[in-house]
Amino acid sequence: MIINKLLKLSITTLSIVTVHSATAQNAVMFDDFSYKTFAHAQENGWQARTETGHPGLKGAKWWQEGVSFHPDALDHNNTVMRLTSKTDGSAQNTRHTQVCHKRKYRDGTYAARVYFNDQPQYGPDGDGIVETFYAISPLAAPMDPDYSEMDFEYLANGGWGKGNKTLFATSWETFKLNPFTQVHEHSTVQKSLQGWNTLLLQVADNQLHYYINGELFAEHSSKVYPEVAMSINFNLWFIAEQILQSTEMRQYYQDIDWVYFIKDTKLDTQTVMSKVAKLREKNIQQLDTVPDWQPKLDDYCSL
């Protein structure tokens, strides 16, 4: 009798462990960006920023019209999401672009295949342009200790004390805008990333590891480990202090092929690429089994 009870308990415990493991493995957000219009993307949880404010030129517009979908130049059977931003040097005629997915992400692996550009589509070159993939929470108050942000930022024309073609990995503990005060850790790699790049961030074991095309280039500590849920974002904007002295309009773009997140799981670049390939083989263009944060948080698309 005792043996039977122990056997039943063991089977029950094994079943619970199996269910929990399956749940963790299935908590994935993947998007292939195979949309026709942004309205279709909104149906799957994406939103475009329209709120003015930091970062970029003060008073510049953040516009949904800068988000579009196009055939991949190298594979016309593939569709990519494009962010387009432009400026003539004035805030009035500057357009920044940002898209955000739901605020429910923290621990796990984040990855995206992104096309960076070193030069504008047209117009004079030289503006401080920031091309990104990142996760972020709202800043509840200046120097809020529960603020969380993790960034990949490519500065084709340099900035922030670094030269041209610099990729920043920055993990934030907190900050305030006025006077600007920041608590963070950052790392850089300086080389041209013109073209397609796979960006991957592991958030696990109280550490953050940033990879570019499978190569580790940043390790950040528990001091900047995220405390709260974040949204997943891409944006394209101009550094206010590094605007070219020209009134001629110039335009930049950044493409995103896909984005992938798996909750509470640490994967390397090759494994993520393999999982994305398998999803595409099954013609799965969008998948989201990541549960809402508890309690559920309002969507967030700012900063």
Mean pLDDT score, 201-226 = 98
Q: Which residue has the higher pLDDT, 288 or 15?
A: 288
pLDDT digits (tens, 9 = 90+) for 217-259: 999 999 999 999 999 999 999 999 999 999 999 999 999 999 9
What is 28-288's CATH number, 1.20.59.10, 2.60.40.420, 2.60.120.200, 3.55.40.10?
2.60.120.200
pLDDT, position 228? 97
pLDDT digits (tens, 9 = 90+) for 10-58: 333 333 333 333 344 579 999 999 999 999 999 999 999 999 999 999 9
pLDDT, position 74? 81
pLDDT, position 300? 86
Structure tokens at 14: 């094994």
pLDDT digits (tens, 9 = 90+) for 87-128: 999 999 999 999 999 999 999 999 999 999 999 999 999 999
Mean pLDDT score, 280-302 = 95
Structure tokens at 251: 């335009």
C-alpha 80/C-alpha 67 separation (Å) is 11
pLDDT, position 76? 80
Distances (CA, A) of 43 to 74, 102, 252: 28, 12, 27
Residue 303 banded pLDDT, cuts 50, 70, 90? confident
This prediction's pTM: 0.91
pLDDT, position 73? 83
Structure tokens at 182: 């920041």
pLDDT, position 75? 82
Q: What length does the chain have?
A: 303
Distances (CA, A) of 104 to 1, 135, 139, 195, 274: 47, 10, 16, 30, 24
Structure tokens at 271: 């494994």
Residue 8 banded pLDDT, cuts 50, 70, 90? very low
Q: Domain limits of the chain?
A: 28-288
pLDDT, position 13? 36
- Decide if 161 contacts 136 (C-beta within 8 A): no
Segments in 35-132 forming alpha helices (H): 38-42
Is the pLDDT reported for residue 262 higher than 80?
A: yes
